[in-house]
Structures are given as C-alpha cells and as structure tokens.
Amino acid sequence: MRGTSEDWGHQPLLNVKTNLPMDEAVGVLENAFRARNFVLIIGECWVDYDGRASSTLEWGERVTIFKKDGSVLIHRPTGYEPVNWQPPKCAIVVNRRDSGILITAARSQPREIISIEFRNVSLVAVGSLDDTGDFALHVTEAQMKQAILIAPDLVEAGLTPLQQEKHVENAGFTDIYGEDKDGSMVVIEIKRNAATKDAAIQLNSYLDKIRKRVNRPLRGIIVAPDLRKSAQPMLQVLSIEFVKLDPEKCFSVLKTQKDMKLSQFIS
Amino acid sequence: MRGTSEDWGHQPLLNVKTNLPMDEAVGVLENAFRARNFVLIIGECWVDYDGRASSTLEWGERVTIFKKDGSVLIHRPTGYEPVNWQPPKCAIVVNRRDSGILITAARSQPREIISIEFRNVSLVAVGSLDDTGDFALHVTEAQMKQAILIAPDLVEAGLTPLQQEKHVENAGFTDIYGEDKDGSMVVIEIKRNAATKDAAIQLNSYLDKIRKRVNRPLRGIIVAPDLRKSAQPMLQVLSIEFVKLDPEKCFSVLKTQKDMKLSQFIS
DNA sequence: CCTTCCGTTAGGCTC
DNA sequence: GAGCCTAGCGGAAGG
C-alpha cells in the first residue's frame, strides 16, 4: 500500500495536507519543487499570464497541478481545458507573500510567465507518481493492415490479398501482398502517417528482391493517409503508386467487423 | 475559512480522504457523482478508451479529475496534456469490482466511452469549488483593431480609417477599411497570429467583392505579428501587402488610451 | 444542427 | 533547431 498522509520510509510517495497554515505550506512547496516532485494544490487563487497573449483570472477556487517536468495546469470547476497552463520545462519559484503564497512558472521560447497567488489553500498534495504503464493508441499500421485484409476495396477494386506473414525478408514495414484484378502481383506498404520518400525507397528495395526471384508483372503501392509532397518525384521515378487511406476509414471497417462479431453472439 | 477534511455545516465544501478502503471509497464517489460534485482521485488505474479512436493505458498512478459538468481528465506525472479525457456532458457511473473500482464516463455524439479501473486509491477529494472569478484574455483581434483605429500609424503613416462596423458582408475576419494618404481605398485584415495563406485568400475574396461594386484603386493589407513563410507566394500573386504588428504594441496603445481616460477622472 | 475557423493551440516529424 | 502539419484536437461563431 502506498504511503499517503503518513510518512512511509524515508521519502513519502504522496504527502497530503489539509488546512495547512500558509507558512508551513510554503515550506512544503519549496521542498517539493526543489525535489521536482509532483504538486497538487486546491485553493483560492488569482492568476496572471503574460506571453504570446496575456490574461487575468480573478479570485476563485481551482485545482492547480505542477508536474515534475515543469508543466503547470490550472483548472476551474468546469470545462475540459485548463483556464491557464504552462507546457513542460518551466522554472517554478515559490514566494511567501503577506497575503499568501505566490508561485511563478516561467519559460522562455516563447517567453511566457504565469503567476499564481494563493490566499487560501484547502489541500496540498506533494510526492511522486509511479507511472510506467504503456499507453497505446490503436488504429496502428497493424490495424490498417487488418482493415485492408477485411476490405481490400479500401485500396482498389478487384484486389485479392494473398499473403500471410511471409516475407522475402523482414523489410521493416507493414505490408500486404496479393494480386490485382488482372493477375499482376501487388505489394502494398502501409504508413499510418503521411508517406515520405523513404517509404518509397524502402518499398522499392523490397520490390527489387522480389523481382530477382519472380518474373511476372509487379506493382508497388503505398497506402497512407497522405503523401508528403517531397515524396512525389521519388514515386514517379520508381513507378510506385500511391493510394490515400484514412485511419478513420480503417477504424470504421474494423468497428463494423467487431459489431458483426458481436451480433453473432447476440442474435 | 473553507471546510476541508472536516465537515463544516451541512455540506462539506471539500472532503479529503486518504487511504480509504475500496468499499468506503465507492460510497463516497457514488454520492459525489450523484450530487454532481467535483471529484479528484489520485491512484493506480487502468484506462480504456473507445470512440473515434481507441486506446489502452496500463497500470500506473495518475491524477483523475471529474468535474461537475461531466468532463473527465486523466493526467500522468508528465506532460501538459491529459493522456485520456472526456469533454463536458458525460454520464458517469461507478461500480465496485472485485479488484477495485470501475468508473465509466460515456458520451454520445460522438459515441465515446472511457473506463477507468482503480486497483489502489491514495487520495479522494470530493466537494465543490467556488469559482466565480472573471477571466479576461487580453489583446484579441478585436483589441488589435481598436488599437489601429486609435493609432492608424501602427499600420502606415497617413492612413485614415473610414468606417465603422459596416461590411460589404461578413467575410469572417477582423477588418478595417479606410483611405491611404493618396486617396486609395485600403482594406486591412487583422490576424492575431502569424498570417497564413488562408488569410490572403480570405482577404482577396473580400477585395474581389468590393471590386465588383467599386471602381477605384484598392489595396489589401494583412496586419499580423508575423507572416507564415508559406503565405509569401500567395501575397505576391494576389498583390496583397503585409504589415508586421505585434500585439504588445497594440496593448501599449490601448493601455495608454486607458490611462488617458482614467486621468480625466483622476485629475 | 451543420460547417468553418481559431487557439497562449501542443506535439510530432521532416528538413 | 526551425518550419510545417496533425489532432480522439476542443471550442466558438456563423449559417
């Protein structure tokens, strides 16, 4: 069990204080910022921002978060977005003021500063968050591939994927091969982002390997949501084709598939 | 002084619990969500998101915030942006699970759902935040316009703004029109940020409309703090001029103006 | 309800 | 490091 309001071992992982007198709060905060800890404050504050634009936020109760990477978030009781914020790499300074506590978070490039004055602090939580969990946003190249295998029309009418899994040798990209409606062999390289000329070069070297072993008409197609302008000439030169395919389209195919699977069980 | 961990009157404004057993935590949360309270949880969680895309976030300690308007934020220990989130108007449901607590936040349009499973809770804070303070963002396009109307020299010497408020038809941008020192008609488009080629296109279509009705020399000027490199050729082609104007300069003009107004009352 | 465009956009990726 | 573009963009304004 993680430590919370009690010290636990030498370094408490999360130290929570309520109704802390200002003087003590300042000490806690100074230590926390010096140690680059995570800091969360709920309290009544006034916020000034100056930089690309400038703003003033008058007294009110908000949640303020200072992360160890120097990012700052100030949240009002409603709304998805922070009312004021600062991206990572800010320098944070705490000062005792007659009226309360003044915290400034400054960055350069662009030069911007937020100053937060607290005149009342309900909750201070300082410590560290242990978070190494993987984050994965799906609709990856793998999912794009899966979508194309389900609905080859996404690439072109009459396409028949042949494959599976087997490559001449791992070419370092997500691909499909198959036959088009005329019986030509087709190799598809999938990119989740706008395709660069590198993609074309990669696909071409793959095609070369195949040409050495197989003697039949061969087409190379890059499938991606977009084609980087600079890649255009390379495609020309290598006679590689480009097909635009948005991840959302893939997602909807996969979702439909999923829904169909579900409906089998539900029916 | 605001209530914190102690009940204060009938309804505690902020109720902070650390090391709460899961069963009690569920009760606290259910009540809080029913009352549409503000809820903040620091604890170890797993997050699944499904909607326009989908994502999985494996176990780790995060800060999770549920606001009274139904918005949800999940923050990792680094980064300005939430790793997962939900905009306002979500339906939030709490369930006890063997392993912990499952909270789902769902919305339709688009249909999206986040489910957060906690297997460990370090801190639960529920209550309400009293925040009616005014938020003012200074130096908007409207303010830049105002500054130029006060001090047309900001754009060029001899400029005389003509109008007010009247447009050929709303072209969707902040503008001024007037005459230059030679009597040519001038249309100014103001951008608060670096002007893109879209700005030029927009201004040009506006100029075209005017040219159809008026037959006299006409100049188009984009006023902005910067010009996006990619917009340069478009300006060339459309014969649109660019004048650099920093928001700070506008701000100081407005400030001077304000000071003068004030001084009238003070003198 | 839709589209279009702005943002203290932030963040990622190419050049 | 600078320029350019995307985003689960969100949000506002206009139609």
Digit-coded pLDDT (tens) for A179-215: 999 999 988 887 777 777 777 777 787 788 788 888 8
Classify residue A105: in a domain, yes or no: yes
Pick the last residue of a domain from A73, A99, A128.
A128
Determine contact, residues B25/B121, Cβ cutoff 8 Å.
yes
Determine contact, residues A137/A77, Cβ cutoff 8 Å.
no
Q: What is the CA radius of gyration of chain A?
A: 28
Reading across the β-sheet that carries B185-190, which strands appear in turn?
Answer: B160-161, B175-179, B185-190, B218-224, B240-244
A115 vs B137, more confident = A115
CATH number of the domain enclosing A242? 3.40.1350.10
Domain identity same for B166 and B229: yes
| pLDDT greater than 80 at residue B137 | yes
CATH number of the domain enclosing A26? 2.70.180.20
For strands A160-161 and A174-179, give the pairing: antiparallel
Domain identity same for B100 and B177: no
Q: What's the rounded mean pLDDT across residues A172-182?
A: 77
Q: Letter for the amino acid at A129? A: L
Length of chain A: 267
Pick the last residue of a domain from B99, B128, B157.
B128
Residue-number span of the structural domain to which A253 is assigned: 141-265
Q: Which residues pair with B241 in a beta bridge?
A: B221
Domain identity same for A24 and A119: yes
With the CA atoms of A82, B8, B22 and B76 taken in that order, what torsion angle do they form, in degrees rounded to the nearest 10? Answer: 20
Classify residue A3: in a domain, yes or no: no
Q: Letter for the amino acid at B264? A: Q
Classify residue B26: in a domain, yes or no: yes
Is the CB of A88 less than 8 angstroms away from the CB of B78? yes
Nucleotide of closest approach to B139 (CA, C1'): C8
Pick the last residue of a domain from B97, B128, B159.
B128
Strand D and A81 CB separated by under 7 Å: yes
Highest mean pLDDT among A5-9, A162-166, A243-247: A243-247
Classify residue A18: in a domain, yes or no: yes
| pLDDT score recorded for residue B145 | 81
| pLDDT score recorded for residue B237 | 81
| pLDDT score recorded for residue A219 | 92
Nucleotide of closest approach to B137 (CA, C1'): C8
Classify residue A7: in a domain, yes or no: no
Domain identity same for A118 and A206: no
Classify residue B2: in a domain, yes or no: no
Domain identity same for B73 and B161: no
Domain identity same for B152 and B96: no
Sign (positive/negative) of CA torsion B122, B81, A118, B126?
negative
Residue nearest to nucleotide D13 (CA to C1'): B172
Domain identity same for A177 and A120: no
Domain identity same for A179 and A241: yes
- Per the structure, the count of domains in chain A is 2
Task: Name which of B26, B25, B48, B29 is nearest B39 in CA terms.
Answer: B29
Is the CB of A65 less than 8 angstroms away from the CB of B75? yes
| pLDDT score recorded for residue A165 | 39
Domain identity same for B112 and B199: no
What region does A179 belong to: left with phi over 0, alpha with psi -120 to 50, or beta? beta
| pLDDT score recorded for residue B128 | 95
Is the CB of A129 less than 8 angstroms away from the CB of B53? no
Confidence of residue B107 (pLDDT cuts 50, 70, 90): very high
Give Dmax over CA atoms of chain B in angstroms. 81
